[in-house]
Amino acid sequence: MGDASGRVTVALVFGGRSSEHEISCSTAAGVLEAIDRDRFDVIPVGITREGAFTLQPDDPDRFRMDAGAMPVVEDNGTRLCWPDSAASRAVAVREPDGALRELGTVDLAFPILHGPRGEDGTVQGLFELLGLPYVGSGVLASSVAMDKHFTKTVLQAAGVPVAPWVTISPADWAADAGRARASARGLGLPVFVKPARAGSSVGVTKVKDWEGLEAALRLAWAEDDKALVEAAMEGREIECGVLSGRDGAAPRVSLPGEVVMRTREFYDYEAKYLDPDAAELICPAVLGRGELREMERLAARVFEALGCAGLARVDFFLTAGGFVVNEVNTMPGFTPISMFPKCWAASGIGYRELISELIDLALPQGPPLTAG
């Protein structure tokens, strides 16, 4: 792969139509700044909120997170033209004046998209149709992991502990609200209500009184057509990163990180991105030797049970009874200060090396890992 000099051209795809558009842009800033320019050429492909594929500036500062002015992909009038068949890797851009400009060939797509229409198998399906290698999980694993109901269903069948839950759709509520409410009540209070397919804690509510259930469900339904009502777990919030193994080897699991809440009740969108004092991310987290081995075993089991590839972040609750899987992210937050890179940095793979490793994993017969 790559040109005669061994350089690889990466289409970095970010933005998108989900409510996590700004988070994806922030991730793009981190990757654009840190990617190894001695090895990789980058074509920044920004997807607007309306779904237009545009050619964006190769400028990290343009997409940095700022609570006062969140980064977005602006429609600059350009339109990226993907290869016209699986036999070609040629990409071009149509300029606002209609002129077509060739950009050369692309070796690989790096979709740093979060949430629906990006992390859920849709963009992965596009790249499959184009025959274009890409970073991360395939269509099925991306789709299943994006849907919390089906993630739990698969993991439960694989013998992985998950929090008790019920799934309620607007149709369920309209048909028999009393029955739906009773199924939720069986979980006890408090519960978390969350969209089945959303990330960054968008649309999530902690319900402490059953009077608040319907409002929480409607907030979640605004993001997705079904909502999970999930029993609240008492315990530490532990997260770890997973990378595919090389040459068929077992998945690699990072050291653990821990989310410790300081000023907010749970790790919601504001705590993650807008309030620097809300939570502390501790990495590596302090675990006993047996706890660490069990976390590694479960994280690898989750990765394999869902059929993940490339990368994932597995989020646990460490309860009095042991680890319980909370969520799985196949394209986790990837800014330099996000938990996934922090855990791998603590494990000996720095941010730039981690980006290179993900690209190498996605390339056929990629070079050996040289991170440290």
pLDDT band at 104 (very low <50, low <70, confident <90, very high): very high
State mean pLDDT over 55-76: 91
pLDDT of residue 350 exceeding 80: yes
Averaged pLDDT of the chain: 92
What's phi and psi for 81, nearest 5 deg? -110, 110
- The rounded distance, in Å, linking the Cα atoms of 200 and 259 is 14
What's phi and psi for 43, nearest 5 deg? -110, 105
State mean pLDDT over 176-204: 91
pLDDT of residue 300 exceeding 90: yes
pTM above 0.75, yes or no: yes
pLDDT band at 261 (very low <50, low <70, confident <90, very high): confident
Q: Between these two residues, 201 and 61, which has the higher pLDDT value?
A: 61
pLDDT at residue 265, as a whole number: 58
Q: Kindly indicate whether the domain formed by 165-231 is annotated with CATH number 3.40.50.720.
A: no
Tokens of 234: 């008492």
pLDDT tens digits along 313-322:
999 999 999 9
Task: Tell me the one-letter amino acid at 254.
Answer: S
HSE-CB of 319 using CA atoms within 13 angstroms:
15
| 57 within 8 A of 71, measured Cβ to Cβ | no
pLDDT at residue 264, as a whole number: 53
Sheet holding 165-168, edge to edge: 165-168, 227-231, 191-195, 205-207
| 144 within 8 A of 34, measured Cβ to Cβ | no
336 exposure class (CB count in 10 Å sphere: 0-12, 13-18, 19+):
middle
Quick count: other Cβ atoms within 10 Å of Cβ 181?
Answer: 16
State mean pLDDT over 218-233: 94
- The rounded distance, in Å, linking the Cα atoms of 19 and 272 is 14
Q: Which CATH code fits 144-161+234-362?
A: 3.30.470.20
Name the strand (E) or helix (H) holding 327: strand 322-329
Q: What percent of the chain has pLDDT over 90?
A: 83
pLDDT at residue 116, as a whole number: 86
State mean pLDDT over 73-99: 97
Domain definitions of the chain by residue range: 8-134, 144-161+234-362, 165-231
Query: Taking the chain, what is the end-to-end CA distance rounded to the nearest angstrom?
Result: 24
What's phi and psi for 229, nearest 5 deg? -110, 120
pLDDT band at 278 (very low <50, low <70, confident <90, very high): low
Alpha carbon of 79 to those of 30, 116, 171, 282: distances in Å? 24, 22, 39, 42
Under 8 Å CB-to-CB from 146, ≥6 apart: which residues? 115, 116, 119, 120, 121, 197, 330
Q: Which fold has domain 8-134?
A: Rossmann fold (3.40.50)
pLDDT tens digits along 236-257:
999 999 999 998 899 999 999 9
| 73 within 8 A of 48, measured Cβ to Cβ | yes
pLDDT at residue 2, as a whole number: 63
